[in-house]
Amino acid sequence: MKIRHFILISISGVLLSSCAGVVPKGPIALMSVVTPPDIIVTINAGAAEITSTGSPDCNPQNKGNGCVHIKKGSTGLITFKLAAPPFWAFTSFEICKGNTNANKDCNLNVWERMEFVVTGNAGVTALVPDSSGVVDLTSLSSGLDSFILFDQNRIAQVYYYRVQVCNSNTTVCSWADPPMENEGTN
């Protein structure tokens, strides 16, 4: 019995060590993870606004606070932080095709939804948008003051995203909303 275990462990070790030098090839090997500047959301007279500068690579019509641009062949790891008085917290995240609230299309198919994953700083829970592009951030925490968005950037598309913050004392809620530009993988 002991000899069988020894032989099995030895064979497993040889197989694992022979695979250790394997380098992935193809599109996955070329993907790099970029971390744009944090998206900072503040409260000004009860209204949420994004105070982070936009990416210099954003198209001219999308430039402004919070615009995120993910270059071709990269994935994005974007951190959202709330700089607000007590009782304010992130409650919802919405991602839609388009670049403004007026022209957004939030009917996302399963592949478009899988482009994005939202998690808390601990990375314990992963949430994808529902078919209307919404993520309920209260599933991560009731007093959420930061979260991370993983953008796979597999599909070239301009997205309109927005975050909602609410005050638990007054039930006042407000949205902040810049665009996101994905160049895709091809």
R_g (Cα) of the chain, nearest Å: 21
Residues making up the chain, counted from first to last: 186
Set out the domains of the chain in order of their start, with CATH numbers: 25-182 (2.60.40)
pLDDT band at 129 (very low <50, low <70, confident <90, very high): very high
Name the burial class of residue 32, with classes exposed (0-12), middle (13-18) and buried (19+) by CB atoms within 10 angstroms of its CB: exposed
More confident residue, 146 or 32: 146
24 pLDDT above the threshold of 50: no
Give per-residue pLDDT as tens, 85-124.
999 999 999 999 988 888 899 999 999 999 999 999 878 8
For residue 25, what are the CA distances in angstroms to 22, 28, 30, 115, 133?
9, 7, 8, 21, 32
Q: Is the pLDDT of residue 12 over 90?
A: no
